[in-house]
Amino acid sequence: MIAQPPTRRSRIRRVYVGPFGQQVLVYLLLGLWILNVADLLLTKYAIGLGFATESNDVMRYFLHVGTLTAAVFKIGIVTVGVLVLWRLRRYRAALFAAVLLSGIFAAVVAYQVFWLMSL
Amino acid sequence: MTTPPSADSGRSPGALGGGPATGATAPVAPPLGSPPEPAGAGAAPGGRRFRPRALVVALAVLLTGAVAGAGMFALEQSSVTWRPHVTRRASDWRIAAPHGLVIHDAALSGRHLAWASGPYTVVFDLSTGKSKLLGIARHASSDAPAAVSEFYAAWLEGAESSGPSIWTYQFSTSARRRLTDTPGVVSAPALSGSTLVWAGRQSGATGGAKDGDVAVFARDLGTGAGRVVTKGPHVTGPVVADWPRVGWGENAAVTGAAGQVSYFFAVKDVGSGQTYAVDLLAGVTSATLMNIDLSGTTLAWRLQTGGGSGEVLMRDLTGGTTQPVASGPGLSGGSIDGDRVVWAQPAGGGTSIMCRRLSGGAPFAVATVAAGTVTDVLVGGDTVAWIVVGGQNGFNGIETARLVQ
């Protein structure tokens, strides 16, 4: 059996995202940015309580330097990432990346919230 | 071959949520070289329209992530946790350490019971039955006993790069605080009301004390007012407090001509300035000194000799001599609050938790532990608590009882 070559339309669907997907991307990127800030605040709070240590070496360095420096770095790098994904919003890969990242951030933040609530 | 759209190919993305409305009514597939662009003419309909379904999909993604995070938390808690298993028995509590951990270094003050269990320092509210994690000693052991009063708990925690620091927790505000100006701590903290007492190495030579000498500090955690109770080359831990009285060890142990050793413990009434010194090892040639406790002007302690025999002793600092409260083999614990002294002693194959009122009367049994080893007994107000290791059904934990006599 000879496989049918993909049509032009199916190739477009495989690579690009339509308006609906782009709007999902917008909400995911917004959620990602907010969750990133929440992660920073919760991490800082948990470290302040003496219960937690930053496991990310880079962030540990910046937190050691100072809270403002850490905040600028963390928010800055995620903001850049969000803008890059928004720039690539027509690509399905950008949507997949946003789904993955926002899902992971949601998991991390939910874990921290439950953990702090359990204290 | 498809080529990525140029930066400008999509025109302005417009407001977050889509490009400008196109007015188009049907999607038109663009050529392969130019991807579909909602912002442009011919893009899918409703590029700028608010799409509730898109929001729902995004929220579903975030919710899925949150559920995964909650699942990870639940999984972790099922294998490693600090939270004890608590059972209420009439007015008493049975508190089992989780996952085979052993409870040690407990402190009791009326409503609150604190202890160390593995790396965790935990406080328990005897009126509500709720536990709270105070600290996790990641980089230092939690061997130093926590202290607890009706207002605060205090404990030691170390960092990788620095020595131990004193942490405090205020029950009324749930505020947890590290005291950053307490370097060189050499003793576990003691608490009485809102007054924290600890021994630490002081930096700089002041008032006859050399740099590096140990000083005993007292600080009101409510007002922040602090003072040096004493300092000098012989000052050492442990410290005890029943404000305004503070006690500390004097490491100038003396060996007498008959081989007898001396270990002086000083107690200062900060209000009057009067200082008392008691030789806790008077009359013995070899013993281990344990469970030094202060209540009012009465000091209690336990001596453990090499043969397994022991003595619980007390002394009224304002006069009188050292009095035995209990003696015999296998004694453990030793704690005083008010006129009550408690300890544990073997009885009929088990262990009796004993209490004696200094105001009079014979010692009486508060409870009996059928199996296991009682490692410590504490009294605070009308509550007695004891630590059991290797009890019935592998019980490791704390049991409490109310004094009714």
Amino acid B360: pLDDT: 84
Residue A69, in any domain of the structure:
yes
B159 to chain A: nearest residue by CA? Answer: A50
A38 neighbors A46 (Cβ within 8 angstroms): no
B29 to chain A: nearest residue by CA? Answer: A9
What amino acid is encoded at B354 in this protein?
A: M
Q: Give the integer Cα–Cα distance in Å for A45 and A113.
A: 11
Virtual torsion, Cα B369, B373, B375, B377, nearest 10 deg: 10
Mean pLDDT computed over B10-32: 38
Mutation site for A-interface testing, chosen from B12, B34, B49, B62 by largest number of A Cβ within 10 Å: B62
Residue A1, in any domain of the structure:
no
**CA dist B75 → B68, B199, B249 (Å):** 10, 41, 46
Q: Give the integer Cα–Cα distance in Å for B70 and A110.
A: 6
Give the pLDDT band (50/70/90) at residue B312.
Answer: very high
B40 neighbors B23 (Cβ within 8 angstroms): no
Residue A11, in any domain of the structure:
no
pLDDT tens digit string along B266-302?
Answer: 999 999 999 998 888 887 777 888 899 999 999 999 9
Residues 90-109 in A contacting B (C-alpha not used; CB under 8 Å): 90-91, 99, 102-109
**Three-state DSSP state, B75:** helix
**Three-state DSSP state, B211:** coil
Residue A61, in any domain of the structure:
yes
Which of B7, B32, B58 minimises the CB distance to A31? B58
What is the layout of strands, in order, in the sheet containing B288-295? B288-295, B298-304, B309-316, B323-329
Q: Give the integer Cα–Cα distance in Å for A116 and A111.
A: 9
Q: Give the integer Cα–Cα distance in Å for B38 and A19.
A: 5
Using a CB–CB cutoff of 8 Å, tell me whether A16 touches chain B: yes
Which of B51, B64, B136 minimises the CB distance to A23? B51
What amino acid is encoded at A65 in this protein?
A: V
* Angle, in degrees to the nearest 10, between helices A92-117 and A67-87: 150
Show pLDDT as tens, one digit a residue, over chain A (119 residues): 566 666 777 776 677 888 889 999 999 999 999 999 999 999 888 887 767 777 788 888 888 888 899 999 999 999 999 999 999 999 999 999 999 999 999 999 999 999 888 77
Q: Give the integer Cα–Cα distance in Å for A9 and B298.
A: 91
- Determine, for residues A50 and B63 on separate chains, whether the beta-carbon distance falls below 8 Å: no
Of residues A79 and B31, more confidence is placed in: A79
Distance from the B33 Cα atom to the nearest Cα atom in chain A, whole angstroms: 9
ipTM of the complex: 0.87
Mean pLDDT computed over B104-128: 89
Q: Give the integer Cα–Cα distance in Å for B77 and B70.
A: 10
Q: Give the integer Cα–Cα distance in Å for B141 and B386.
A: 22
B185 neighbors B166 (Cβ within 8 angstroms): yes
Which of B19, B29, B47 minimises the CB distance to A12? B29
Peptide bond into B30 cis (omega under 30): no
B378 neighbors B67 (Cβ within 8 angstroms): no
Which of B16, B69, B178 minimises the CB distance to A108? B69
- Determine, for residues A110 and B70 on separate chains, whether the beta-carbon distance falls below 8 Å: yes
Residue A88, in any domain of the structure:
yes
Q: Give the integer Cα–Cα distance in Å for A64 and B243.
A: 39
pLDDT tens digit string along B340-354?
Answer: 999 999 988 899 999
Phi, psi of B214 (to 5 degrees): -90, 140
Using a CB–CB cutoff of 8 Å, tell me whether A116 touches chain B: no
Paired tokens of B123: 């406080």
B383 neighbors B108 (Cβ within 8 angstroms): yes
Amino acid B247: pLDDT: 94
Q: Give the integer Cα–Cα distance in Å for A109 and A102.
A: 10
B339 neighbors B359 (Cβ within 8 angstroms): yes
Residue A59, in any domain of the structure:
yes
Beta bridge partners of B148: B153
Using a CB–CB cutoff of 8 Å, tell me whether A64 touches chain B: no
Residue A109, in any domain of the structure:
yes
**CA dist B216 → B235, B299, B321, B383 (Å):** 8, 18, 26, 29
pLDDT tens digit string along B143-161?
Answer: 578 899 999 999 887 765 6
Q: What is the pTM for the complete model shown?
A: 0.73
Which of B69, B83, B176 minimises the CB distance to A49? B176
DSSP state for residue B185 in the 8-state scheme: B
Residue A82, in any domain of the structure:
yes
Q: What is the mean pLDDT of chain B?
A: 81
Mutation site for B-interface testing, chosen from A16, A34, A64 by largest number of B Cβ within 10 Å: A16
B231: left (phi over 0), alpha (psi -120 to 50) or beta: beta
Q: Which chain A residues are within 8 Å of B178, Cβ to Cβ?
A: 50
- Determine, for residues A20 and B138 on separate chains, whether the beta-carbon distance falls below 8 Å: no
B155 neighbors B196 (Cβ within 8 angstroms): no
Using a CB–CB cutoff of 8 Å, tell me whether B293 touches chain A: no
B116 neighbors B81 (Cβ within 8 angstroms): no
How many domains are there within chain A? 1
| Boundaries of domain holding A110 | 17-117
Mutation site for B-interface testing, chosen from A27, A83, A101 by largest number of B Cβ within 10 Å: A27
Task: Count other Cβ atoms within 10 Å, centred on residue B176.
Answer: 19
Q: Give the integer Cα–Cα distance in Å for B326 and B304.
A: 12
In this complex, how many residue pairs, one in chain A and one in chain B, have their CB atoms less than 8 Å apart?
133
